[in-house]
Structures are given as C-alpha cells and as structure tokens.
C-alpha cells in the first residue's frame, strides 16, 4: 500500500506518532488510508450539503474496511462571482484545486481517493488531480439544485439573469424581479440547468469516474446520501483490484465524454475542461476533434437554458446512462472501457432505459443530427472559438453584421443596459481571455441582458472570454489567439463587418489582410496591470483552444 511508505518501519515511527495524534488506532493504520477530498463550504449553494455527503462517504469507506481521512478543496460560486472582478478568480481556481490536491496526497501517502466536488471549476480541477496522481479514485458530487417555480413554470439561474436584462429594458417590474430573486434557486445543489457544473458532473459518469446518478440525482434527495455511501464502499474495491484513475480515463473514455457532451448539449466550458483533463491523461485533444465528433453525434437533450427541461427531469428520464444507451444503439460510444464500478461501460448501461422522450430524444428522432457544440475557424479566430449550437436560435446560425467593440465586460454591459445595441449588431468583448483578463471571465451578464431585452434572435456576441453554461443565443467564446496575445480580435473596429456561419464552422472579419497589417503596426495592445496570483497565472496560462492549461 502507498501508505506503508509513511506508516511502516522503525524510521517512520515519528510519522506514526502523528497519526496517533489524530486519534487513529493501530487497527486503522493497518487498513488502506483513503483520502476524502471534500469541497464543503458555506458560501457556495452547491457545496453547502457536502458535509452530509462527506460523512456518508466516510461511513461507506469504513464499512468496506478502509480508514477515511478528510481534507478540503476550495470552490468558487460562479453565480456570485459573476459580473465583477470576482469572476477573474473562477477559472484560475481549477489549477489551484488540482495543485493543492496533488500536494496533500503526495505529502501524506493515501492508498485511494474519493473526490467530493460539485461546482464549475471544482469538478475538472479534481479530475485533473485524479489523473495526475493516478490512484484508485472515485467521484461523488453534491448533486443538482431543484428547479425554481415562478407563475407555475419551472425556472433556473439563467432566467434570473435574463430577468435583470428584462428589468433594465423596462419589460419587467421591480416586484416581479424580486419574485424571481426569491424563487429561482430553491434548494442546495449546483444550479438546475445543463450549466457547467452539471455538465462536468454528468461527464464524470461518462468518463467512468462516478457511479450512475452522480450527475443527475438532485442534491436534496436521500438517494444522494445512498450514492455517497456506495462510492465510499466502491473505492475500496478499486484499491483491492488496483484499478487506477488513468486505467479508467483513457483516450476512448475521453472521446466518449466528448460524444456525450454533444448529445447532452453541455456547456461550452467543457471545451476548456476536457482538453485540460486530457492533457493530464496524456491524450491529445483539439477543437478539430470536437467538430469531428459533433458532426456524427445527434443532439438528444435540450435542458435549460436551451429548452424547458431541467436536471431533475433528466434524472427521472433515466439519467446519463439512458443517454449513453441511446448513443450505443448506433455505435457512437466505446462500451468496452473500464469504469469505477469495476465493470465496463457497456455492462453498466445494459439495463438503462429512456423513460421520457420529451427529455431524452430517441437516437432516431434527435433535436439535430449534429452535436450541441461547434468550433468555428476563420481569420477572426485562426485557432478556433466555440459556440453552444444547441442554444442558438435557427435564424442566428448564419449572421452577418457590424461590430460593436468593447475592451471589457463592464464597458459592454453599460451600453447594453442603456439600450445602445441594435438588431443586427455583433457585440465584441475582448481582453477577457485567459491571459488578457486574466482569468477568462464568463459573460453571462451581457448575454442575459441581450436575451432579456429580446435581442438574442437578432444580435451575436463574440469574446475571447468564455460563457456560462446558462448562456443562450449566438454567443461565441474562447476566440484564439486572444486579444492580449495579438490575435485579430484585438484589431476589430466599430463598424467592421463580421460574418458568422455556424453550420459551416466559419467566422470571418471582413477586413483585408493589408488593413489588418496596418492596424497591427499602428495600434497598441491594451494590457491591464494585475498583481498577486493573477499576475503569475497570466505568465503561465495557455490559450483557450489548448484548454487554458498552466504550461509546465
């Protein structure tokens, strides 16, 4: 056992004395030591219930003959951080989480790990750590929030942001805005649509790192506690059989995750996180690969914000396994990959059933024949950019219009709220990329303001930043190279015509190369000054098309 390097032999008697200081008995030290990485805190709604999940995991580990030891991981609530400087500190935590987990595990000699994440950067950060450490590991999340209800209709956080846009446009009263505020987020859990947190928790099941239901069982349900106990017990089976994280997160498993991503209509943030996880697993990943898989994968789900269904509905319809079962009917996933159950994915989904075709479309009756995400290329984004195609209105799949250019999210929001954006415009928000922000802020506030003003079927938004999974409309992010790196997005002027063709995977700035060369020679990049962690992050982070990974 790994633990033996610090718990056996006379030379490690000092270490054992410190284990005894923890109250551990000799019998406990003779068992496998299981690290439980708990992301519990009292500021993130998706994490406020993780103390209960952690206790259930501990019980499961102990019941199966292990010794559970808890240590923490941080987490940021993107919804609370949205729209101000706090959002610069969201994506950057992904690598802090991976690095700090690596440090804790390597310092203390665990034999296996149970990861307990829930929200946006917490899940991929711990998946990156799991791949890097390559120990027997299993994931159990805190689960999704229940949908809110306003005027008899289900709602979620994306509608809350759109309500702000509607209020600013004079289309919603202050009383109705307050009703949304009080009823939109009714329980603990990760916000109830197919946003980034739920996307990544669902993909954890597909990767084989989480048990069935990990992505969909609602946070308040007692079934979530049962799942946590089973995860605690199952990690002991992984330890006994020496099934490690990279035995599970193989190239085929990652390709399965990308395929399921397209079918589920996941957040565009998965196009940052899957490359970062693949990098830790030694698997090549490109935006061209995303398009290749998207072109052959039908989109089967339109969960909020793309449609009227929510995570609780996906759970009742059969969950992630039911989606995988549909995909398997046409051989679109590799069913032979190993999973944390100790069985293959094919064995896991053998008895899955799609019980609601209004939530999970049949493979022969999809929303579209292509996946939920598309990568676009052209002179505005030579290295690519991404859009959640499944959340774009049909009339905006092809669009051409004049640029309205802003050098920050704040500049754009001010003009949008003032009614300064007109039908047909293409809003460009730059210097918000991984290095330029730094931190690659999500642009939910401007996209929601546009949607709330009723312009989401007439206005496109392009950024080198990123979008929340709660975004809908022709919102195109991750433009690479970014403005801070001298990408062409830095040289767009107001009034320049931008042409977008999502089915053709193209995005073009209709300005001649001679004119762009002149602008590059005459115009200076607008790089803001930063201090502290963000300064270090800026120096090390890669471009978005590479997953905004920390270059080593």
Residues identified as active-site: 468
Terminal alpha carbon distance of the chain? 30
Cβ-contact 258, 286 below 8 angstroms: no
**Residue of 528, 516, 455, 468 whose CA lies nearest to 488:** 516
Rounded to whole angstroms, how far apart are CA atoms 215 and 206?
A: 10
Other C-beta atoms within 10 Å of 352: how many? 18
The structure tokens 């987020």 sit at 185
Q: What is the DSSP letter of 181?
A: H
Tokens encoding 455: 């312009």
Helix (H, G, I), strand (E, B) or coil at 264: helix
Using omega within 30 degrees of 0 as the cis cutoff, is the peptide bond preceding 123 cis? Answer: no
Q: How far is CA 450 from CA 158, 453, 540, in A?
A: 12, 5, 34
Cβ-contact 485, 433 below 8 angstroms: yes
Cβ-contact 313, 359 below 8 angstroms: yes
Cβ-contact 333, 297 below 8 angstroms: no
Rounded to whole angstroms, how far apart are CA atoms 456 and 479?
A: 20
List strands edge to edge, sheet with 112-116: 67-72, 33-38, 112-116, 137-139
Residue partners of 477: CB distance under 8 A and separation at least 6 = 268, 385, 386, 387, 443, 462, 463, 464, 465, 466, 467, 544
Residue partners of 54: CB distance under 8 A and separation at least 6 = 36, 38, 40, 70, 116, 228
Helix (H, G, I), strand (E, B) or coil at 123: helix
Helix (H, G, I), strand (E, B) or coil at 375: strand
Other C-beta atoms within 10 Å of 158: how many? 26
Cβ-contact 370, 299 below 8 angstroms: yes
Alpha helix segments (H runs only) across 208-355: 222-241, 245-248, 251-264, 270-281, 287-296, 311-317, 319-328, 345-349
What count of Cα atoms within 13 Å lies in the side-chain half-sphere of residue 390? Answer: 33
Q: How many helices (H) and strands (E) does the chain have?
A: 22, 14
**Residue of 163, 165, 147 whose CA lies nearest to 155:** 147
Strand partners, 398: 501
CA 76 from chain centre, in angstroms, equals 13
């Amino acid at each position: 056992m790994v633990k033996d390097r610090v718990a056996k032999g006379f030379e490690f008697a000092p270490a054992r004395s410190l284990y005894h200081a923890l109250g551990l008995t000799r019998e406990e030290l003779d068992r496998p030591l299981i690290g439980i990485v708990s992301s519990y805190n009292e500021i993130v709604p998706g994490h406020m219930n993780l103390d209960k999940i952690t206790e259930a995991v501990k019980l499961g580990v102990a019941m199966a003959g292990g010794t559970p030891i808890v240590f923490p991981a941080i987490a940021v609530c993107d919804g609370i951080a949205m729209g101000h400087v706090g959002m610069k500190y969201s994506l950057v935590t992904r690598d802090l989480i991976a690095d700090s987990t690596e440090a804790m595990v390597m310092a203390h000699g665990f034999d296996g790990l149970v990861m307990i994440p829930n929200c946006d950067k917490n899940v991929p950060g711990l998946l990156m750590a799991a791949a890097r450490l390559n120990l027997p590991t299993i994931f159990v999340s805190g689960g999704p929030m229940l949908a809110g209800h306003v005027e008899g209709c289900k709602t979620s956080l994306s509608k809350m942001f759109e309500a702000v846009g509607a209020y600013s446009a004079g289309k919603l009263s202050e009383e109705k805005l307050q009703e949304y505020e009080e009823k939109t987020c009714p329980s603990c859990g990760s916000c109830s649509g197919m946003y980034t947190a739920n996307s990544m928790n669902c993909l954890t099941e597909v990767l084989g790192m989480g048990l069935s239901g990990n992505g969909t069982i609602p946070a308040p349900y007692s079934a979530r506690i049962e799942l946590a106990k089973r995860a605690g017990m199952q990690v002991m089976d992984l330890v006994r059989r020496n099934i490690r994280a990279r035995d599970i997160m193989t190239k085929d498993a990652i390709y399965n995750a990308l395929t399921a991503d397209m079918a589920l209509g996941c957040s565009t943030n998965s196009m940052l996180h899957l490359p970062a996880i693949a990098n830790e697993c030694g698997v090549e990943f490109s935006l061209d690969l995303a398009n290749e898989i998207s072109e052959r994968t039908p989109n089967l789900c339109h969960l909020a914000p793309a449609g009227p269904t929510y995570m609780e509905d996906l759970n009742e319809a059969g969950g992630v396994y039911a989606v995988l079962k549909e995909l398997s009917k046409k051989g679109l996933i590799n069913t032979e990959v190993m999973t944390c159950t100790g069985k293959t994915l094919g064995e896991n989904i053998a008895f899955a059933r799609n019980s609601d075709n209004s939530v999970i479309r049949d493979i022969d009756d999809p929303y579209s024949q292509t996946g939920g995400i598309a990568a676009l290329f052209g002179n505005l984004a030579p290295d690519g950019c991404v859009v959640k195609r499944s959340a774009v209105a049909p009339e905006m799949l092809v669009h051409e219009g004049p640029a309205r250019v802003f050098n920050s999210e704040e500049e754009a929001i001010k003009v949008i709220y003032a009614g300064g954006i007109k039908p047909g415009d293409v809003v460009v928000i730059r210097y918000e990329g991984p290095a330029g922000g730094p931190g690659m802020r999500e642009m939910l506030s401007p996209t929601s303001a546009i949607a709330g003003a009723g312009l989401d079927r007439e206005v496109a938004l392009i950024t080198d930043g990123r979008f929340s999974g709660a975004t809908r409309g022709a919102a195109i992010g991750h433009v690479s190279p970014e403005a801070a790196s001298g990408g062409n997005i830095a040289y767009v002027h107001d009034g320049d015509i931008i042409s977008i063709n999502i089915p053709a995977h193209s995005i073009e700035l209709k300005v001649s190369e001679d004119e762009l060369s002149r602008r590059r020679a005459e115009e200076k990049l607008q790089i803001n000054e930063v201090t502290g962690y963000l300064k270090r992050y800026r120096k090390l982070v890669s471009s978005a098309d590479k997953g905004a990974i920390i270059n080593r």
